[in-house]
Amino acid sequence: MGGFPILSIMLLVPLVAGIACFFLEAKAARMAALIATLVNLALGVVLWASYDVGGAQWQFVERSELFAGFSYALGIDGIALMLIMLSVFLMPICILASWDAITKRVGEYMAAFLIMEVLMIGVFAAQDIFLFYIFFEAGLIPMYLIIGVWGGDNRIYASYKFFLYTLLGSVLMLIAMFWMVNEAGTSDIPTLMQYDFPAGAQTWLWLAFFASFAVKMPIWPVHTWLPDAHVQAPTAGSVILAGVLLKLGGYGFIRFSLPMFPEASAQFTWLVLGLSMIAVIYTSLVALVQNDMKKLIAYSSVAHMAIVTAGLFAFNVQGLEGAMMVMLGHGLVSGALFLCVGVIYDRLHTREIDRYGGLAINMPKYALLFMLFCMASVGLPGTSNFIGEFLALAGVYQISTTVTLVLTTGIILGAAYMLFLYRRVVFGVQKNPDAAAMKDLNIREWAMLGPIAAAVLWMGVYPESFLAPMRADIAALEVRLARAAPAGDSMLEVGTPNATNANAMPELEHDYAGEGAH
């Protein structure tokens, strides 16, 4: 790609379109937003295609010094590439999802989404720690507005809760960043990733970052903002929230906590694994008793994210790659599930599960796609989430069989709540006449759900496309972590093999010597 500043262009396109949207009519704003996001998707494809797998760790690097060591530095590795792809892929879908659903202040709404996209790409592409911080925190603002202005009835409470939770964690992180830059003498992320901070300081730095990432993730018990935010957010807001914003926590761990503070990470492994175990069981059980579709999916997100954190703190390739694959897979699948909720919410204006039923009769195509995404969420092999969950759990198994057992139990519960949801919404008799009169998917909705379905299957059948770009980066991370990685509880000891097989029988004296022999 030579010197072509593709990352800056990808930031610029939605930024310009976003500013333009403020001044446009509703129709024009929609179209402008759609075009801008599609252009960015196309640029993303170019980015992916020209990413040199097996080449330099950091590619498409751009750097210009600003002031006091603070620089505008962009650049991506395979991990960031995949998360950028996820963002640019979901963005046009979000615009389509808001096409008819949003009728007031359309220009501002589209602008909020486009600026959101700028910030999301920025977070993943930033190579300067303060630039990262700015993107990371500024992302709060459009989301806060999207929930607060275009949300449901209780949107003010939800948006404040969202803001309070996420901001509180971040303050500590900023202080830690100042300390780190002061200590290491640079704000360059790749350099910091190789810097060995003193072990005592690592503990505090790790905790400060954890406060922020745990909320973003979210890790139990700081997850309660998520169900409220999801329930109140408009459909597209939920998609971005679940699809991309929840991944910021995981990205933070993999980019900062693990490589910068390996010793502290090892020290806190059991804190993270413990919270993950609680989260999986706790939130899965809570999901089982929900009557609000969005709340159910929100709680299921917390359970899935717990598998991500557990995988990350397994300190091995399978755990890390699995965690990344769960993030990507969950980004697609939970996004798709929120879209599925949105499709029927747009028709009936309620999220209450009991108001639906028997949709398989009047909406068979919808039923098919919804089934696919439910199965992907459950982690059926052949879908995206299986690869992630399988690898993550295989990684965790290497450090603790007990944790794996508990997390796998969550997968049973996952099947229970998803199928229970599906049964109540799609199966059964058509007990509500208004739900029975709903029309099947239209072309716009196909355009939203179809590509995600294809991606989910692609990721499940041939995940190599997604694993290959990340392979070198994760291998490097594993090497960095190796010195701190905790020992597993399996501790295989090879002994003397048994002399015979289990059902060894003596040979009969004469061949066929018994009474009934013939």
Is residue 401 at the binding interface for another protein, with CB under 8 A as the rule?
yes
Q: Are 187 and 262 in contact (CB under 8 A)?
A: no
CA–CA gap between residue 131 and residue 122 (Å, rounded): 8
224 Cβ contact list (under 8 Å, min separation 6): 161, 165
Q: Is residue 303 at the binding interface for another protein, with CB under 8 A as the rule?
A: no
What is the per-residue binding string for another protein in 77-116, x denoting contact by CB under 8 A? ----------------------------------------
Find the Cα–Cα–Cα–Cα dihedral 135, 136, 138, 140, rounded to 10°. Answer: 150
The two tokens of residue 19 are 């500013």
CB of 447 to another protein, least distance (A): 17
CB of 322 to another protein, least distance (A): 7
User: Is residue 42 near another protein by the rule CB under 8 A?
Assistant: no
Closest distance between another protein and the C-beta of residue 244, in Å?
23
Give me the 329-368 binding string for another protein, x by CB under 8 A, dash otherwise: -----------------------------x-xx--x---x
Which secondary-structure segment (H or E) carries 26?
helix 26-50
Residue with the two structure tokens 């002061």: 182
Cβ proximity to another protein: between 40 and 385 the closer is: 385
Give the nearer residue to another protein in terms of CB position, either 103 or 490: 490
- Measured in whole angstroms, the distance separating CA 450 from the mean position of its chain's CA atoms is 20
Q: How far is the CB of 494 from another protein (least distance, A)?
A: 5
Candidates 48-56, 169-177, 254-262, 488-496; binding stretch for another protein (CB under 8 A): 488-496
469: preceding bond cis by omega (within 30 degrees)? no
**Dihedral, 168, 174, 176, 180 alpha carbons, nearest 10:** 170
Applying CB under 8 A, which part among 101-109, 230-238, 317-325, 326-334 lies near another protein? 317-325
Q: In sequence order, which ranges of 426-486 are alpha helices (DSSP H)?
A: 433-436, 443-461, 464-482
The answer to the question of residue 433 lying near another protein (CB under 8 A) is no
Two tokens at 407? 């997390």
**Residue number with CB closer to another protein (437 or 461):** 461
DSSP category for residue 222: S
Q: In the window 231-290, what residues touch another protein (CB under 8 A)?
A: 282, 285-290
Contact between residue 257 and residue 265 where contact means Cβ atoms under 8 Å apart: yes
Q: Name the 3-class secondary structure at 63.
A: strand
Please report whether residue 398 would count as binding another protein according to CB under 8 A: yes
Residue 372 CB, nearest distance to another protein (Å)?
10
3-state secondary structure of 60: strand
Say which residues have a Cβ less than 8 Å from residue 156's Cβ, sequence separation at least 6: 148
Taking CB under 8 A as the binding criterion, the range among 26-34, 79-87, 98-106, 159-167 that sits at the site for another protein is 159-167
The yes or no reply on residue 318 touching another protein (CB under 8 A) is yes
Pairing of strands 70-76, 59-67: antiparallel
Which residues inside 215-234 make contact with another protein, applying CB under 8 A?
221-222, 224-225, 227
Cα 322 to Cα 225, 326, 411, 468, distances in angstroms: 26, 6, 15, 13
Residues 372-391 that bind another protein (CB under 8 A): 375, 380-382, 386-387, 390-391
Say how many residues touch another protein, by CB under 8 A.
91
Token reading at 124: 């993943």
Q: Point out which span in 57-65, 133-141, 253-261, 393-401 binds another protein (CB under 8 A).
A: 393-401
Q: For 282-314, give the DSSP string.
A: HHHHHHHT--BHHHHHHHHHHHHHHHHHHHHTT
- Would you count residue 420 as binding another protein (CB under 8 A)? yes
Binding mask 112-141 for another protein (x = CB under 8 A): ------------------------------
Please report whether residue 461 would count as binding another protein according to CB under 8 A.
Answer: yes
Helix/strand/coil (H/E/C) assignment for every residue in 330-391? HHHHHHHHHHHHHHHHHHHCCCEHHHCCCHHHHCHHHHHHHHHHHHHHHCCCCCHHHHHHHH
Residues 491-510 that bind another protein (CB under 8 A): 491-498, 501-508
Q: Which of 164, 199, 437, 454: binder of another protein (CB under 8 A)?
A: 164
Nearer of residues 191 and 402 to another protein, judged by Cβ? 402
Q: Looking at beta carbons only, is 200 or 382 nearer to another protein?
A: 382
Contacting residue, 428, 450, 451, 486, with another protein by CB under 8 A: 428
